[in-house]
Amino acid sequence: MTSTAMPTAGQHGLVAHSDGAFVPVQTRSERFRSVNVEDFAPVNGREHEWKLSPVAAFADLTAGELDGSTLPIETTEVAGIAVSRISRDDARIGAAGTPEDRASANAWSTFGEALLISVTGEDEKIAVVTRTGLGDAPRAAHTVIEAAPNSRGLVVLAGSGSARLSENVEILVGEGAQLTVVSLQEWDDEAVHLSSQFARLGRDSFLKHIVVSLGGKVVRVNPSTHLAEQGADIESLGLYFADAGQHLEQQVFVHHDAPHTRSRVTYKGALQGAGARSVWIGDVLIAQTAPGTDSYEQNRNLVLTDGTRADSVPNLEIETGDIEGAGHASATGRFDDEQLFYLMARGITEGEARRLVVRGFLTEIVQKIGSPDLEARLTAAVEAELEGR
C-alpha cells in the first residue's frame, strides 16, 4: 500500500473518535507541552502519544523519581567538536523545544547538568559520544548539540549496555550550518530508552538526523524538527531492526514554519521473531508561515517472520495553499518467498538469500549516512541482527 496524499478532511477540522462524538482535531504544533512533569496527568496508556507504547514496561520513567546525575560518557577528542557540561539555567536549554509527554518532562524536571556538544569550524569532522552501562536504576539526562553558524560536523550519540533512561536532546543548528546527528541505540536486551529529540534549524541550515535502533527492550526515539527559518532543510532518516519481544518506536514530527523549507523523512525497518514490534508515526505540519515548502515522508517495513506487528501512521497537515510539494508513503510488506526461491534457485543458501534481501532493503538508509566507517559498522550490526546475535 503506497499513497501520496494531499490534505483530506480527516486531517483538519472534525474527525470521528471511537466514542462517536465529534471533537476538533488539534493542530500538531498546539499539543500540550511543559517542562514540568506535574503538569502532565499520570500516564494510563490511552493518551495519543502513548497509545502504541508498552507503558507498563517503563512506569518508573514516566511516574517515578529519576536519577538526574550526569551520565558517564566515552568520547575521543576531536578538533572543532567540544564536549562539556552546562548548568540548567544556560540559555540554550529549552531553545529547541519543550516536552510533549510525561517521560520527557520527568527527565527535564530532574536532570542536574546538561551535556553540551559544540560544533565549530567549516571542515568536516566526526565525534562519537557513547553512553554505556547506565545500570538498572531509572535516570534522566539532557544533551544539547549546538552547531555554530556555517559549521560542519557529524555527531554520533550512541548507547550500549544496560539502561533505563529518559532523556531530552536539543539540537541547535545555526545559520548556514550543516550538521549530521546519529542517534545510535545498541542497548542490551533488557534496556529501556525514551528519547525526545528537538531540533531547531536556522536560516539555510541543513540537518541530517538519523535514528538507528537495533538493541533494547523498549526504545522510543521521538525527533521533532522545527524548520524555524527560511531555507532550512531536514533529512530525517531512520533504520530499525526489531527482534522477538523488542519494541522500537519513533514518532517523527517536522514543523515547516518558514518559507522555502524542505523536509525528507525516510524510515525503514525490519521485523523478525515473535512479538517484534515497531511503531512509526510521521507528522508533518506545513504552517501558514511556510509558503514554498517541499516535503515528503515515507516509512517502509519488511516483515521477516510471523508474529510481528508494525504500525505505520503518516499524517500530513497543510495550512497553506502555496506549497511546492508534499506527499507521504507507507508500506509494510512480508519477506517475499518468491524472492527467496529465486535466489536459492541460483545456488544461494537460505540464510545468505535472506541477508541479501534485508541488506538490500536497509542499504538505502545506511548509504546516506555519509561516513564510510559508520556505514561499515552499521552494515555489520545489521548482519549481526540477521544472524540473531
Chain positions contacting another protein, by CB under 8 A: 336-339, 341-350, 352-353, 356-357, 359-364
Please say which residue, 115 or 382, places its beta carbon nearer to another protein.
382
d(CA 282, CA 255): 11
d(CA 227, CA 206): 10
- Least distance CB 6 / another protein (angstroms): 27
Please say which residue, 60 or 385, places its beta carbon nearer to another protein.
385
Please say which residue, 107 or 365, places its beta carbon nearer to another protein.
365
- 193 SS3 class: strand
d(CA 307, CA 309): 7
For residue 323, which phi and psi values (nearest 5 degrees)? -125, 155
Pick from 153, 93, 92: nearest CA to 128:
153
d(CA 283, CA 252): 6
- Least distance CB 341 / another protein (angstroms): 6
How, if at all, do strands 14-16 and 22-24 pair?
Answer: antiparallel
d(CA 342, CA 340): 5
- Least distance CB 364 / another protein (angstroms): 7
Please say which residue, 137 or 380, places its beta carbon nearer to another protein.
380
The amino acid that residue 365 corresponds to is I
Burial of 272: CB neighbours in 10 Å, binned 0-12, 13-18, 19+: buried
- Least distance CB 146 / another protein (angstroms): 36
Please say which residue, 43 or 357, places its beta carbon nearer to another protein.
357
Instruction: Kindly state the cell numbers that stand for 263.
Output: 523536509
Please say which residue, 247 or 354, places its beta carbon nearer to another protein.
354
Please say which residue, 136 or 352, places its beta carbon nearer to another protein.
352
Count of beta carbons in the 10 Å neighbourhood of residue 8: 10
Which segments of the chain are extended strands (E)? 14-16, 22-24, 73-75, 81-86, 114-119, 126-132, 139-147, 152-161, 164-173, 178-187, 192-201, 206-215, 218-227, 233-242, 247-256, 262-271, 277-286, 293-303, 309-318, 323-334
- Least distance CB 288 / another protein (angstroms): 39
- Least distance CB 361 / another protein (angstroms): 5
Per the CB < 8 A criterion, the answer to whether 214 and 276 are in contact is: no
Please say which residue, 20 or 372, places its beta carbon nearer to another protein.
372
The amino acid that residue 42 corresponds to is P
- Least distance CB 147 / another protein (angstroms): 32
- Least distance CB 333 / another protein (angstroms): 10
- Least distance CB 298 / another protein (angstroms): 14
Please say which residue, 109 or 363, places its beta carbon nearer to another protein.
363
Please say which residue, 56 or 345, places its beta carbon nearer to another protein.
345
- Least distance CB 272 / another protein (angstroms): 17
For residue 41, which phi and psi values (nearest 5 degrees)? -70, 155
